[in-house]
């Protein structure tokens, strides 16, 4: 049996692999860059080896450094996780030469499936349904436009070596096709060192549904059901679930059998994923095969009861699969939400910095509910600018879809993160969205439901009086503490009022608070709300029952206001006496500064290019600059006709959020 595994990765996936290895009694080795010296995966491993500076191109992607770490530690196997070298055939071959087990497929399968152009040809040959498109790489933007016109718009331009949404553009006309080709080519070159791009038909109203496969070195291949991954933003998955609410048993079986056919065609060994695009009539087409463990693998684990990392290790050890296709049953429903360090209210800009507070939801393993958190961070740790800004994967399971969604909503409410911006409000809003709950989703869901981006007003609370009541109880608790101050003059002690006005979003809500039976009776207008809680002023989470319904809210006192976050809604409440509330209505409004004549960097990143000069007249829609962040190129365009007054930054500059790039007349 494999005795020591070097995990050639970082973050949550490195920690995830180590958990299984330790359970199996296998020692682990971590590798780390300069930025990851204090990372969680380093602390979890039995041994750790430094492999280079912070940039991944100088550390996690440097094969010779990782091979040296293998030799120095005596590791006899390598698990690559996902990303980095996980689908690098030359790395797998290098390990084979060193007689080190690669916990993944053989190089031939990686090569065959890693090239989207060649994999599509192979799929056709194996009898797998594929999307109509051009079979070869496109040489330039003119050919892209010509091919797109032949296929028929809309089309998808995709990097042959792409993944994670990089090197992908949808085009609906010639201009978008030409520009999309240039952007896709540039991103592909930067991210993968391979700038080949191909064109295929873009399926409208599509669903992204993938099949998990598992193969061994003895010719056995099985499929483990499907994952619905249609909730995506800019081609990157946000929410995944298993099974799909859209598939019937017949379609599931047909997709699974085609996935097995393709896997056997390349003699696939290990865990892998065959991705399909499915139209509204349940016609499905092969997209690509990921020859590695997927980010969303936990949802499959929860509905099948299998540990996919363990299966990968056993296959790499030469063992036969002990499970057959007939053994696979799908039990219950699982959801996964990707928690990212990004600001959903600023167009999901990446956020970097230190996790000043970090409290994940409690792990639950009850028969009727599972809550699982896969993470590679801890309180006091840092989200680095050099890597993907994922904080964690939050996974829930229930006996049915509604139960899994309910568990996810409760877990999101309990996820407490401070120090960096995060996307939990957006995830909570998705989980509460009626269309999502009904299962009427496509890959266009987010673009259709949030066409102008995500804003605080997009998150609406089901029971707004719940937030008002909790805010009133918090204020009462603070007033009660203030009344306990020592040294008060006899007969002049501070009295706790019971009547207040809660001001939220400009609206005034008269309230009364009375302690009753170990809890509180809160009057809001003509209604009464019962609040039962043991919350104290130091707790960042307000837990208890409101009208006999369990709640968990994130709370904080900020100056004279109370901030409450629940179900994706953030409310800032000012609680004052009725006289102050009346006077507050006369307070003048302070308008924010006018930035309409400035181009501000919307994110921390690298200024790749500046397309204009001082004094130049520009038209609305013209390109102004290109900013690269997290290996994605973002084109900044003029919102209206104007003249460039001054350019404040040069290509190659590192930009901070809201840094002025140029000003206009």
CATH number for 132-201: choose from 3.40.190.10, 2.130.10.10, 3.30.1490.20, 1.10.10.10.
3.30.1490.20
Confidence of residue 632 (pLDDT cuts 50, 70, 90): confident
Neighbours of 527 (CB within 10 A): 11
| 7 pLDDT more than 90 | yes
Share of the chain above pLDDT 90, in %: 82
- Give residue 456's pLDDT: 87
CATH number for 598-664: choose from 1.10.150.120, 3.40.50.300, 2.40.50.100, 3.10.20.30.
2.40.50.100
| 167 pLDDT more than 90 | no
**Could you give phi then psi for residue 269, rounded to 5 degrees?**
-125, 130
Q: Residue 556: in which H helix or E strand, if any?
A: strand 549-558
Alpha-carbon distance of 562 to 571, in angstroms, equals 8
Alpha-carbon distance of 445 to 454, in angstroms, equals 13
| 631 pLDDT more than 70 | no
| 135 pLDDT more than 90 | no
- Give residue 467's pLDDT: 96
For the chain, residues classed under CATH 3.30.1490.20 are 132-201
Helical ranges in 327-423 per DSSP H: 401-413
Asked which of 61-65, 124-128, 385-389 is least confident by mean pLDDT, the reply is: 385-389
Alpha-carbon distance of 360 to 42, in angstroms, equals 20
Neighbours of 349 (CB within 10 A): 20
Report yes or no: 158 and 181 within 8 Å, Cβ to Cβ: no
| Beta-strand pair 333-340/4-7 | unpaired
SS3 content of the chain, % helix, strand, coil (to 5): 30, 35, 35
Closest residue by Cα to residue 268 from 308, 310, 218: 218
Reduce the DSSP state of residue 445 to 3 states and report it: helix
Alpha-carbon distance of 386 to 11, in angstroms, equals 12
Is 463 marked active-site? no
- Give residue 630's pLDDT: 64
pLDDT digits (tens, 9 = 90+) for 551-610: 999 999 999 999 999 999 999 999 999 999 999 888 888 888 889 899 999 887 889 999
Reduce the DSSP state of residue 49 to 3 states and report it: strand
For the chain, residues classed under CATH 2.40.50.100 are 598-664
559-570-402 Cα angle (round to 5): 150
- Give residue 42's pLDDT: 98
- Give residue 433's pLDDT: 95
Mean pLDDT, the chain, rounded, equals 94
**Residues with Cβ within 8 Å of residue 93, at least 6 apart in sequence:** 107
Report yes or no: 242 and 334 within 8 Å, Cβ to Cβ: yes
Report yes or no: 92 and 107 within 8 Å, Cβ to Cβ: yes
For the chain, residues classed under CATH 3.30.700.30 are 464-482+496-584
- Give residue 268's pLDDT: 98
- Give residue 164's pLDDT: 67
**Could you give phi then psi for residue 538, rounded to 5 degrees?**
-90, -10
* CATH code for the part of the protein at 4-103: 3.40.50.20
Q: Across residues 341-352, what is the average pLDDT?
A: 89
pLDDT digits (tens, 9 = 90+) for 306-336: 999 999 999 999 999 999 999 999 999 999 9
Q: Domain 118-131+207-331 - what CATH class?
A: alpha beta
Confidence of residue 28 (pLDDT cuts 50, 70, 90): very high
Out of 87, 187, 241, 288, the active site residue is 288
pLDDT digits (tens, 9 = 90+) for 430-489: 999 999 999 999 999 999 999 999 998 888 898 999 999 999 999 999 999 999 888 988
Tokens of 270: 């290990």
- Give residue 157's pLDDT: 94
Alpha-carbon distance of 129 to 121, in angstroms, equals 11
For the chain, residues classed under CATH 3.40.50.20 are 4-103
Instruction: State the sign of the Cα–Cα–Cα–Cα dihedral 338, 379, 545, 479.
Output: negative
**Could you give phi then psi for residue 632, rounded to 5 degrees?**
-110, 135
**Fold (topology level) of 464-482+496-584:** Glycoprotein, Type 4 Pilin (3.30.700)
Q: Across the beta sheet with 390-398, what order do the strands follow?
A: 284-290, 270-278, 207-215, 221-233, 236-242, 333-340, 390-398, 369-375, 364-366
Confidence of residue 634 (pLDDT cuts 50, 70, 90): confident
- Give residue 494's pLDDT: 84
pLDDT digits (tens, 9 = 90+) for 181-237: 999 999 888 878 889 999 998 888 899 999 999 999 999 999 999 999 999 998 899
Q: Residue 524: in which H helix or E strand, if any?
A: strand 519-524
Q: Which of 128-137, 491-500, 530-539 is modeled with the greatest confidence?
A: 530-539
Question: Tell me, what DSSP letter sits at residue 55?
Answer: S
Q: Across residues 288-298, what is the average pLDDT?
A: 97
């Amino acid at each position: 049996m494999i005795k020591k595994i070097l995990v050639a990765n970082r973050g949550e996936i490195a920690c995830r692999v180590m958990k299984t290895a330790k359970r199996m009694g296998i020692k682990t080795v971590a590798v780390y860059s300069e930025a990851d010296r204090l990372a969680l995966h380093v602390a979890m491993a039995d041994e750790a080896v430094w492999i280079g500076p912070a940039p991944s191109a100088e550390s996690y992607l440097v094969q010779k450094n990782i091979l040296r770490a293998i030799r120095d530690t005596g590791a006899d196997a390598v698990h690559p996780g996902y990303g980095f070298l996980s689908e690098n055939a030359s790395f797998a071959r290098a390990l084979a030469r060193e007689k080190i087990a690669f916990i993944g497929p053989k190089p031939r399968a990686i090569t065959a499936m890693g090239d989207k152009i060649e994999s599509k040809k192979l799929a056709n040959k194996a009898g797998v349904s594929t999307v109509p498109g051009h079979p070869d790489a496109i040489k330039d933007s003119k050919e892209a436009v010509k091919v797109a016109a032949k296929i028929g718009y809309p089309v998808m331009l995709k990097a042959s070596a792409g993944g994670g949404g990089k090197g992908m553009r949808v085009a609906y006309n010639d201009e978008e096709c030409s520009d999309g080709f240039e952007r896709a080519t540039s991103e592909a070159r930067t991210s993968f060192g391979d700038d080949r791009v191909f064109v295929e038909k873009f399926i409208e109203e599509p669903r992204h549904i993938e099949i998990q496969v598992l193969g061994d070195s003895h010719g056995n291949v099985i499929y483990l059901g499907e994952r619905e991954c249609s909730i995506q933003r800019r081609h990157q998955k946000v929410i995944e679930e298993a099974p799909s609410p859209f598939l019937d048993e017949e379609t599931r079986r047909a997709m699974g059998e085609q996935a097995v056919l393709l896997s056997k065609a390349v003699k696939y060994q290990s865990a892998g994923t065959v991705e399909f695009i499915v139209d509204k009539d349940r016609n499905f087409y092969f997209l690509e095969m990921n020859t590695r463990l997927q980010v969303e693998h936990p949802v499959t684990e929860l509905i099948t009861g299998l540990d996919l990392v363990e299966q990968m290790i056993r296959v790499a050890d030469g063992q036969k699969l002990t499970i057959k296709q007939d053994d696979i049953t799908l039990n219950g429903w699982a959801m996964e939400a990707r928690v990212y360090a990004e600001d959903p209210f600023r167009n999901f800009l990446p956020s970097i910095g230190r996790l000043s507070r970090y409290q994940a939801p409690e792990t639950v393993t009850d028969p009727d509910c599972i809550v699982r958190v896969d993470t590679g961070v801890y309180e006091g740790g840092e989200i680095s600018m050099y890597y993907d800004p994922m904080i964690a994967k939050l996974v829930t399971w229930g006996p049915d879809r509604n139960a899994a969604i309910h568990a996810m909503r409760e877990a999101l409410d309990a996820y407490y993160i401070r120090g960096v911006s995060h996307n939990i409000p957006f995830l909570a809003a998705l989980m509460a969205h009626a269309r999502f709950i009904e299962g009427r989703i496509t890959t266009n869901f987010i673009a259709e439901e949030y066409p102008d981006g995500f804003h605080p007003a997009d998150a609406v609370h089901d029971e707004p009086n719940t937030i008002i009541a909790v805010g009133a109880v918090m204020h009462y608790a603070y007033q009660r503490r203030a009344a306990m101050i020592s040294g008060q003059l006899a007969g002049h002690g501070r009295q706790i009022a019971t009547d207040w006005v809660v001001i939220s979003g400009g609206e005034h809500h008269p309230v009364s608070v009375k302690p009753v039976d170990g809890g509180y009776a809160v009057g809001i207008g003509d209604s009464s709300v019962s609040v039962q809680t043991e919350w104290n002023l130091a707790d960042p989470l307000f837990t208890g029952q409101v009208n006999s319904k369990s709640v968990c809210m994130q709370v904080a006192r900020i100056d004279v206001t109370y901030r409450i976050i629940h179900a994706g809604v953030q409310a800032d409440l000012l609680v004052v006496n009725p006289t102050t509330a009346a006077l507050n209505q006369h307070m003048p409004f302070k308008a924010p500064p006018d930035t309409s004549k400035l181009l501000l960097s919307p994110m921390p990143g690298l200024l790749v290019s500046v397309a204009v000069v001082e004094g130049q007249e520009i038209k609305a829609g013209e390109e102004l600059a290109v900013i690269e962040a997290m290996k994605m190129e973002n084109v900044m365009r003029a919102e209206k006709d104007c003249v460039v007054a001054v350019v404040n930054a040069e290509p190659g500059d590192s930009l901070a959020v809201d840094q002025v790039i140029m000003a206009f007349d």
